[in-house]
């Protein structure tokens, strides 16, 4: 991991790594390697689920608006309908659904950035 120096490791984390003779970079890489929301959604009791559980807890803690919550709700409704229709291909279909949602999220973020830029430019031109 090239940015390990930018991550502030707590004393408790360092201590755990030292006690069990693990390099912090290895532990963090294992966490990153095990994050797979589609896999977690389809196989929530798998042995390597804990990185996903932590991500989900963080998502819940970071929800700031009803719009965000509605976005998650819309996704979960689509996912539930998809699961009812085709459980056999659940993992592949879940990955596709996440990819589609990801694309929409990124498009919305770009739109918001462009809208903010337009508003700033309008404000600047109105000052003249």
Verify that 28 and 49 share a domain, yes or no. yes
Domain that holds residue 56: 9-62
Question: Token pair of 81, please?
Answer: 């309908």
> pLDDT digits over 107-126, tens only?
988 988 998 776 666 666 66
Question: How many domains are contained in the chain?
Answer: 2
Same domain assignment for residues 80 and 106: yes
77 has a pLDDT exceeding 90: yes
Buried b (16+ CB within 10 A) or exposed e, 41-57: bbeeeeeebebbeebee
Are 58 and 37 a contacting pair, CB within 8 Å? Answer: no
Query: Is 71 inside a domain boundary?
Result: yes
Q: Do 68 and 58 have their domain in common?
A: no
Q: Does 1 reside within a domain?
A: no
Residues 38 and 75 in one domain: no
Structure-model confidence comparison of residues 59 and 128, the more confident one: 59
Statement to judge: residues 51 and 99 lie in one domain: no
pLDDT digits (tens, 9 = 90+) for 31-71: 999 999 999 999 999 999 999 999 999 988 988 888 888 88
DSSP 8-state class, residue 5: G
- Give SS3 for 24: helix
Q: Are residues 29 and 47 in the same domain?
A: yes
Residue 122's pLDDT is what?
A: 65
Task: Summarize pLDDT for 84-97 with one digit per residue, the tens.
Answer: 998 899 999 999 99
Statement: residue 14 has pLDDT above 70? yes
CA-CA distance, 42 to 12, in Å (whole number)? Answer: 33
| 75 shares its domain with 120 | yes
In a shared domain, residues 77 and 114: yes
Clarify whether residues 88 and 48 are in a common domain. Answer: no
Q: Is residue 73 part of a domain?
A: yes
pLDDT at 118: 67
Q: Would you state the pLDDT for residue 1?
A: 45
Residues 81 and 55 in one domain: no
Reduce the DSSP state of residue 68 to 3 states and report it: helix
Structure tokens that stand for 72 in this block: 């998650």
Any idea what DSSP says for residue 48?
T
């Amino acid at each position: 991991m090239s940015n390990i120096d930018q991550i502030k490791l707590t004393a408790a984390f360092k201590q755990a790594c030292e006690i069990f003779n693990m390099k912090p970079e290895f532990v963090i890489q294992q966490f990153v390697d095990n994050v797979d929301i589609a896999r977690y959604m389809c196989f929530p009791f798998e042995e390597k689920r804990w990185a996903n559980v932590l991500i989900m807890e963080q998502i819940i803690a970071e929800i700031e608006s009803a719009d965000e919550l509605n976005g998650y709700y819309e996704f979960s409704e689509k996912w539930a309908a998809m699961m009812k229709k085709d459980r056999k291909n659940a993992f592949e279909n879940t990955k596709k659904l996440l990819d589609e949602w990801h694309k929409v999220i990124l498009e919305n973020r770009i739109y918001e950035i462009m809208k903010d830029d337009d508003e700033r430019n309008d404000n600047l031109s109105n000052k003249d």
